[in-house]
Amino acid sequence: MRRTVFPHKLLPWLLLAPQLAITLIFFYWPAAQAFRQSVLREDPFGLSSTFVGLANFRKVLNDPAYLNAAQVTVVFSLLVAFFAMTIALFLAVQVEKIVRGKGFYRTLMIWPYAVAPAIAGMLWLFMFNPSFGTLAWPLRQLGIAWNPLLDGEQAMALVVAAATWKQISYNFLFFVAGLQAIPKSLLEAAAIDGASRRHAFWTIVFPLLTPTTFFLLVVNTVYALFDTFGIIHAVTSGGPGRSTETLVYKVYNDGFVNLIMGDSAAQSVILMVIVIALTAFQFRFIEKRVHYG
Protein backbone atom coordinates (compact mmCIF):
# COMPACT_ATOMS: atom_id res chain seq x y z
CA MET A 1 0.00 0.00 0.00
CA ARG A 2 1.32 3.40 -0.95
CA ARG A 3 0.98 6.23 1.46
CA THR A 4 0.45 9.69 0.14
CA VAL A 5 2.33 12.26 2.18
CA PHE A 6 0.97 15.78 2.26
CA PRO A 7 3.44 18.60 2.77
CA HIS A 8 1.21 20.41 5.26
CA LYS A 9 -0.64 19.19 8.29
CA LEU A 10 -3.53 21.47 7.43
CA LEU A 11 -4.16 20.51 3.81
CA PRO A 12 -5.69 17.10 4.46
CA TRP A 13 -8.08 18.62 6.94
CA LEU A 14 -9.05 21.33 4.49
CA LEU A 15 -9.75 18.75 1.83
CA LEU A 16 -11.88 16.74 4.20
CA ALA A 17 -13.66 19.77 5.62
CA PRO A 18 -16.74 19.84 3.34
CA GLN A 19 -17.49 16.19 3.93
CA LEU A 20 -16.81 16.50 7.63
CA ALA A 21 -19.06 19.55 7.85
CA ILE A 22 -21.92 17.75 6.15
CA THR A 23 -21.49 14.70 8.32
CA LEU A 24 -21.36 16.80 11.49
CA ILE A 25 -24.33 19.00 10.65
CA PHE A 26 -26.65 16.41 9.17
CA PHE A 27 -25.67 13.25 11.01
CA TYR A 28 -23.86 13.80 14.28
CA TRP A 29 -25.70 16.92 15.38
CA PRO A 30 -29.20 15.42 14.89
CA ALA A 31 -28.05 12.17 16.44
CA ALA A 32 -26.74 14.02 19.44
CA GLN A 33 -29.99 15.96 19.63
CA ALA A 34 -31.95 12.73 19.52
CA PHE A 35 -29.88 11.33 22.38
CA ARG A 36 -30.40 14.50 24.40
CA GLN A 37 -34.12 14.69 23.81
CA SER A 38 -34.64 11.02 24.46
CA VAL A 39 -33.86 11.60 28.13
CA LEU A 40 -35.87 14.81 28.43
CA ARG A 41 -39.55 15.46 28.71
CA GLU A 42 -41.09 18.70 27.44
CA ASP A 43 -43.96 20.42 29.18
CA PRO A 44 -47.25 20.51 27.23
CA PHE A 45 -46.44 23.91 25.75
CA GLY A 46 -42.94 23.01 24.66
CA LEU A 47 -41.46 25.81 26.70
CA SER A 48 -39.29 23.90 29.15
CA SER A 49 -38.01 20.38 29.51
CA THR A 50 -36.93 18.21 32.42
CA PHE A 51 -34.49 15.34 32.68
CA VAL A 52 -36.38 12.05 33.07
CA GLY A 53 -33.66 9.43 32.54
CA LEU A 54 -34.88 6.35 30.72
CA ALA A 55 -38.55 7.06 31.34
CA ASN A 56 -39.21 7.83 27.67
CA PHE A 57 -37.77 4.49 26.63
CA ARG A 58 -39.83 2.68 29.22
CA LYS A 59 -42.92 4.46 28.06
CA VAL A 60 -42.27 3.78 24.40
CA LEU A 61 -41.49 0.12 24.90
CA ASN A 62 -44.65 -0.40 26.91
CA ASP A 63 -46.84 1.43 24.42
CA PRO A 64 -49.10 -1.03 22.55
CA ALA A 65 -48.99 1.29 19.52
CA TYR A 66 -45.21 0.96 19.48
CA LEU A 67 -45.36 -2.80 19.67
CA ASN A 68 -47.91 -2.71 16.87
CA ALA A 69 -45.52 -0.62 14.78
CA ALA A 70 -42.73 -3.09 15.47
CA GLN A 71 -44.95 -5.91 14.32
CA VAL A 72 -46.04 -4.01 11.22
CA THR A 73 -42.38 -3.28 10.45
CA VAL A 74 -41.38 -6.93 10.73
CA VAL A 75 -44.24 -8.10 8.51
CA PHE A 76 -43.66 -5.30 6.02
CA SER A 77 -39.89 -5.82 5.82
CA LEU A 78 -40.11 -9.57 5.45
CA LEU A 79 -42.72 -9.31 2.72
CA VAL A 80 -40.84 -6.62 0.82
CA ALA A 81 -37.49 -8.38 1.09
CA PHE A 82 -38.99 -11.72 0.12
CA PHE A 83 -40.97 -10.52 -2.87
CA ALA A 84 -38.38 -8.03 -4.12
CA MET A 85 -35.76 -10.76 -4.09
CA THR A 86 -37.73 -13.67 -5.50
CA ILE A 87 -39.27 -11.60 -8.28
CA ALA A 88 -35.90 -10.04 -9.14
CA LEU A 89 -34.20 -13.45 -9.20
CA PHE A 90 -36.95 -14.85 -11.38
CA LEU A 91 -36.64 -11.97 -13.82
CA ALA A 92 -32.84 -12.14 -13.86
CA VAL A 93 -32.99 -15.84 -14.72
CA GLN A 94 -35.56 -15.18 -17.44
CA VAL A 95 -33.50 -12.37 -18.98
CA GLU A 96 -30.57 -14.77 -19.32
CA LYS A 97 -32.71 -16.84 -21.65
CA ILE A 98 -33.57 -13.96 -23.98
CA VAL A 99 -31.63 -14.19 -27.21
CA ARG A 100 -32.48 -10.89 -28.85
CA GLY A 101 -32.85 -7.54 -27.12
CA LYS A 102 -31.31 -8.55 -23.80
CA GLY A 103 -29.92 -5.05 -23.26
CA PHE A 104 -33.32 -3.48 -23.91
CA TYR A 105 -35.04 -5.59 -21.27
CA ARG A 106 -32.28 -4.98 -18.80
CA THR A 107 -32.57 -1.23 -19.28
CA LEU A 108 -36.33 -1.35 -18.81
CA MET A 109 -35.86 -3.35 -15.64
CA ILE A 110 -33.64 -0.69 -14.14
CA TRP A 111 -35.97 2.26 -14.60
CA PRO A 112 -38.11 1.88 -11.45
CA TYR A 113 -34.98 2.39 -9.40
CA ALA A 114 -34.70 5.96 -10.68
CA VAL A 115 -38.20 6.85 -9.50
CA ALA A 116 -38.36 8.78 -6.23
CA PRO A 117 -40.10 6.84 -3.43
CA ALA A 118 -42.95 9.35 -3.05
CA ILE A 119 -43.59 9.32 -6.80
CA ALA A 120 -43.55 5.54 -6.82
CA GLY A 121 -46.08 5.60 -4.00
CA MET A 122 -48.32 8.03 -5.86
CA LEU A 123 -48.09 5.85 -8.95
CA TRP A 124 -49.37 2.83 -7.12
CA LEU A 125 -51.93 4.88 -5.24
CA PHE A 126 -53.37 6.17 -8.50
CA MET A 127 -53.41 2.74 -10.09
CA PHE A 128 -55.22 1.24 -7.13
CA ASN A 129 -57.24 4.15 -5.84
CA PRO A 130 -60.67 2.66 -5.02
CA SER A 131 -62.60 5.43 -6.75
CA PHE A 132 -60.57 6.21 -9.85
CA GLY A 133 -57.70 3.69 -9.97
CA THR A 134 -57.27 1.95 -13.31
CA LEU A 135 -56.63 -1.38 -11.68
CA ALA A 136 -59.13 -1.07 -8.83
CA TRP A 137 -62.06 -1.67 -11.15
CA PRO A 138 -60.83 -5.03 -12.52
CA LEU A 139 -60.11 -6.11 -8.95
CA ARG A 140 -63.68 -5.35 -7.97
CA GLN A 141 -64.91 -7.20 -11.04
CA LEU A 142 -63.04 -10.20 -9.72
CA GLY A 143 -65.19 -10.02 -6.64
CA ILE A 144 -62.62 -8.46 -4.33
CA ALA A 145 -64.02 -5.75 -2.11
CA TRP A 146 -61.11 -3.49 -2.93
CA ASN A 147 -60.67 -0.53 -0.63
CA PRO A 148 -57.20 -0.04 0.76
CA LEU A 149 -58.33 3.19 2.43
CA LEU A 150 -60.48 1.15 4.81
CA ASP A 151 -59.03 -2.34 4.76
CA GLY A 152 -55.73 -2.64 6.66
CA GLU A 153 -54.57 -5.78 4.91
CA GLN A 154 -55.22 -4.32 1.49
CA ALA A 155 -53.38 -1.17 2.50
CA MET A 156 -50.44 -3.31 3.58
CA ALA A 157 -50.56 -5.19 0.29
CA LEU A 158 -50.47 -1.92 -1.59
CA VAL A 159 -47.46 -0.45 0.23
CA VAL A 160 -45.65 -3.78 0.02
CA ALA A 161 -46.30 -3.85 -3.72
CA ALA A 162 -45.07 -0.30 -4.23
CA ALA A 163 -41.96 -0.79 -2.08
CA THR A 164 -41.23 -4.14 -3.75
CA TRP A 165 -41.63 -2.74 -7.24
CA LYS A 166 -39.08 -0.04 -6.52
CA GLN A 167 -36.53 -2.40 -5.07
CA ILE A 168 -36.76 -5.11 -7.74
CA SER A 169 -34.49 -3.13 -10.08
CA TYR A 170 -31.66 -3.00 -7.60
CA ASN A 171 -31.90 -6.69 -6.77
CA PHE A 172 -32.25 -7.52 -10.45
CA LEU A 173 -28.93 -5.81 -11.24
CA PHE A 174 -27.11 -7.75 -8.56
CA PHE A 175 -28.69 -11.04 -9.52
CA VAL A 176 -27.86 -10.49 -13.20
CA ALA A 177 -24.26 -9.79 -12.25
CA GLY A 178 -24.24 -12.81 -9.95
CA LEU A 179 -25.63 -15.06 -12.64
CA GLN A 180 -23.12 -13.82 -15.17
CA ALA A 181 -20.30 -14.64 -12.80
CA ILE A 182 -21.29 -18.32 -12.84
CA PRO A 183 -19.27 -20.01 -15.59
CA LYS A 184 -21.46 -21.41 -18.37
CA SER A 185 -19.41 -24.58 -18.39
CA LEU A 186 -20.73 -25.48 -14.92
CA LEU A 187 -24.25 -25.65 -16.29
CA GLU A 188 -23.04 -27.57 -19.30
CA ALA A 189 -21.28 -30.03 -17.01
CA ALA A 190 -24.49 -30.37 -15.03
CA ALA A 191 -26.48 -30.93 -18.22
CA ILE A 192 -24.11 -33.72 -19.19
CA ASP A 193 -24.26 -35.13 -15.66
CA GLY A 194 -27.97 -35.52 -16.30
CA ALA A 195 -29.41 -32.55 -14.41
CA SER A 196 -32.55 -30.93 -15.73
CA ARG A 197 -32.53 -27.14 -15.91
CA ARG A 198 -34.59 -26.91 -12.76
CA HIS A 199 -32.38 -29.32 -10.87
CA ALA A 200 -29.26 -27.51 -12.04
CA PHE A 201 -30.75 -24.22 -10.86
CA TRP A 202 -31.40 -25.45 -7.34
CA THR A 203 -28.19 -27.47 -6.95
CA ILE A 204 -25.69 -25.26 -8.80
CA VAL A 205 -26.93 -21.76 -9.59
CA PHE A 206 -28.78 -21.00 -6.38
CA PRO A 207 -25.98 -22.16 -4.04
CA LEU A 208 -23.44 -20.19 -6.05
CA LEU A 209 -25.61 -17.10 -5.72
CA THR A 210 -25.62 -17.37 -1.92
CA PRO A 211 -23.20 -14.48 -1.38
CA THR A 212 -25.31 -12.21 -3.58
CA THR A 213 -28.53 -13.36 -1.96
CA PHE A 214 -27.19 -12.78 1.50
CA PHE A 215 -25.90 -9.34 0.67
CA LEU A 216 -29.25 -8.43 -0.88
CA LEU A 217 -31.13 -9.79 2.11
CA VAL A 218 -29.38 -7.30 4.37
CA VAL A 219 -29.70 -4.44 1.90
CA ASN A 220 -33.39 -5.15 1.34
CA THR A 221 -34.13 -5.37 5.02
CA VAL A 222 -32.46 -2.05 5.62
CA TYR A 223 -34.31 -0.61 2.64
CA ALA A 224 -37.68 -1.85 3.84
CA LEU A 225 -36.99 -0.60 7.36
CA PHE A 226 -35.76 2.88 6.56
CA ASP A 227 -36.09 3.89 2.93
CA THR A 228 -39.78 3.27 2.47
CA PHE A 229 -40.96 6.25 4.46
CA GLY A 230 -41.79 8.17 1.28
CA ILE A 231 -43.91 5.36 -0.09
CA ILE A 232 -45.86 4.83 3.11
CA HIS A 233 -46.32 8.55 3.54
CA ALA A 234 -47.67 8.94 0.02
CA VAL A 235 -49.87 5.84 -0.10
CA THR A 236 -51.39 5.32 3.34
CA SER A 237 -49.82 7.73 5.83
CA GLY A 238 -49.60 4.76 8.14
CA GLY A 239 -53.31 4.06 8.00
CA PRO A 240 -55.96 2.88 7.98
CA GLY A 241 -55.86 2.83 11.74
CA ARG A 242 -52.21 2.03 12.39
CA SER A 243 -52.11 -0.95 10.06
CA THR A 244 -49.20 0.33 7.95
CA GLU A 245 -47.42 2.43 10.54
CA THR A 246 -43.82 1.24 10.62
CA LEU A 247 -41.28 2.20 13.27
CA VAL A 248 -39.81 4.93 11.09
CA TYR A 249 -43.21 6.28 10.24
CA LYS A 250 -44.13 6.36 13.92
CA VAL A 251 -41.05 8.41 14.72
CA TYR A 252 -42.24 10.96 12.22
CA ASN A 253 -45.83 10.79 13.40
CA ASP A 254 -45.04 11.18 17.08
CA GLY A 255 -42.35 13.78 16.60
CA PHE A 256 -43.55 16.00 13.79
CA VAL A 257 -47.29 15.47 13.76
CA ASN A 258 -48.07 14.89 17.42
CA LEU A 259 -45.03 16.83 18.65
CA ILE A 260 -44.15 14.37 21.44
CA MET A 261 -40.44 15.01 21.14
CA GLY A 262 -39.24 12.81 23.99
CA ASP A 263 -41.01 9.69 22.72
CA SER A 264 -40.00 10.33 19.17
CA ALA A 265 -36.36 10.82 20.15
CA ALA A 266 -36.35 7.63 22.20
CA GLN A 267 -37.72 5.74 19.20
CA SER A 268 -35.02 7.27 17.00
CA VAL A 269 -32.37 6.06 19.39
CA ILE A 270 -33.81 2.56 19.34
CA LEU A 271 -33.83 2.65 15.55
CA MET A 272 -30.24 3.84 15.57
CA VAL A 273 -29.29 0.83 17.67
CA ILE A 274 -31.07 -1.43 15.18
CA VAL A 275 -29.22 0.13 12.23
CA ILE A 276 -25.88 -0.21 13.97
CA ALA A 277 -26.60 -3.84 14.77
CA LEU A 278 -27.66 -4.60 11.21
CA THR A 279 -24.64 -2.87 9.75
CA ALA A 280 -22.26 -4.68 12.07
CA PHE A 281 -23.95 -7.95 11.16
CA GLN A 282 -23.66 -7.16 7.46
CA PHE A 283 -19.98 -6.24 7.67
CA ARG A 284 -19.12 -9.34 9.59
CA PHE A 285 -20.71 -11.52 6.96
CA ILE A 286 -19.46 -9.59 3.99
CA GLU A 287 -15.97 -9.94 5.40
CA LYS A 288 -16.53 -13.66 5.65
CA ARG A 289 -18.38 -13.79 2.37
CA VAL A 290 -17.80 -17.07 0.70
CA HIS A 291 -15.59 -16.81 -2.32
CA TYR A 292 -15.75 -19.69 -4.71
CA GLY A 293 -13.12 -20.29 -7.31
Give the shortest CB-221-to-other proteins separation in angstroms.
Answer: 24
Is 289 an interacting residue with respect to other proteins (CB under 8 A)? no
Is 188 an interacting residue with respect to other proteins (CB under 8 A)? yes
CA 152: distance to chain centroid?
21
Give the shortest CB-190-to-other proteins separation in angstroms.
Answer: 7
C-beta of 132 vs 292, nearer to other proteins: 292
C-beta of 2 vs 100, nearer to other proteins: 100
C-beta of 173 vs 195, nearer to other proteins: 195
Taking CB under 8 A as the binding criterion, the range among 23-31, 84-92, 135-143, 183-191 that sits at the site for other proteins is: 183-191
Is 179 an interacting residue with respect to other proteins (CB under 8 A)? no
C-beta of 200 vs 271, nearer to other proteins: 200
Is 40 an interacting residue with respect to other proteins (CB under 8 A)? no
Across-strand partners of 40? 51
**Helical packing angle, 210-226 and 152-180, nearest 10°:** 150
Binding mask 206-225 toward other proteins (x if CB under 8 A, else -) reads -xx-----------------
Give the shortest CB-195-to-other proteins separation in angstroms.
Answer: 6
Note the residues at the interface with other proteins (CB under 8 A).
183, 185-186, 188-196, 199, 203-204, 207-208, 292-293
